[in-house]
């Protein structure tokens, strides 16, 4: 038997340790939580992404009584950006969440579907997407979705 160990690296920062641009992106993700439509879970998630040209798009989770057709904040922002600016790579993505008690203490991570979509963006443009996960206790900074999606599905074109 052979044991394979998978490791992920991320860094935790205070908001004031990040650049002005990074702080703005995180604040936009926090503001985007106000746009969530969450009549069932009451769990507001906001995302803000930056394109290579500096354009920022936001997204918020959108629920539906038919749960499979809900949309996460991350994919909401990514699909809006891709629909309007398909030639621009995504360079950064910030995510924040709150519930009835306010912003969450610990950062939340993207779901598996969102991780796969982010991976597709990294593959499409041949560059990583830096991810900022906001919590009041600190911000996790991840250099590539591959750091939180080990053994990811990648279609290399070989059948």
Interhelix angle 73-84/112-125, nearest 10 degrees: 30
Residue 143 belongs to a domain? yes
- Please list the active-site residues: 74
Answer yes or no: is 98 within a domain: yes
Q: Is 4 a domain residue? A: no
Domain that residue 92 falls in: 11-147
pLDDT attached to residue 122: 96
22-32, pLDDT tens digit by residue? 999 999 999 99
Look up the CATH number of the domain holding residue 76: 3.40.140.10
Pairing of β 130-135 and β 11-13: unpaired
pLDDT digits (tens, 9 = 90+) for 33-77: 999 999 999 999 999 999 999 999 999 999 999 888 899 999 999
- Total domains in the chain come to 1
């Amino acid at each position: 038997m052979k044991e394979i160990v998978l490791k992920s690296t991320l860094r935790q920062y205070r908001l004031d340790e990040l650049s002005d641009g990074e702080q703005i992106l995180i604040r936009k993700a926090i503001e985007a939580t106000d746009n969530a439509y969450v009549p069932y879970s009451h769990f507001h998630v906001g995302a803000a992404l930056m394109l290579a040209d500096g354009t920022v798009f936001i997204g918020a989770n959108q629920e539906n009584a038919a749960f499979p057709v809900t949309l996460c904040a991350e994919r909401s922002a990514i699909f809006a950006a891709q629909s309007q600016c398909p030639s621009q790579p995504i360079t950064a993505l910030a995510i924040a969440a709150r519930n009835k008690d306010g912003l969450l203490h610990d950062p939340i991570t993207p779901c598996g579907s969102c991780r796969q979509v982010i991976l597709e963006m990294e593959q499409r443009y041949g560059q990583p997407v830096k991810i900022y996960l906001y919590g009041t206790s600190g911000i996790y900074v991840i250099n590539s979705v591959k750091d939180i999606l080990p053994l990811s599905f990648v279609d290399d074109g070989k059948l």
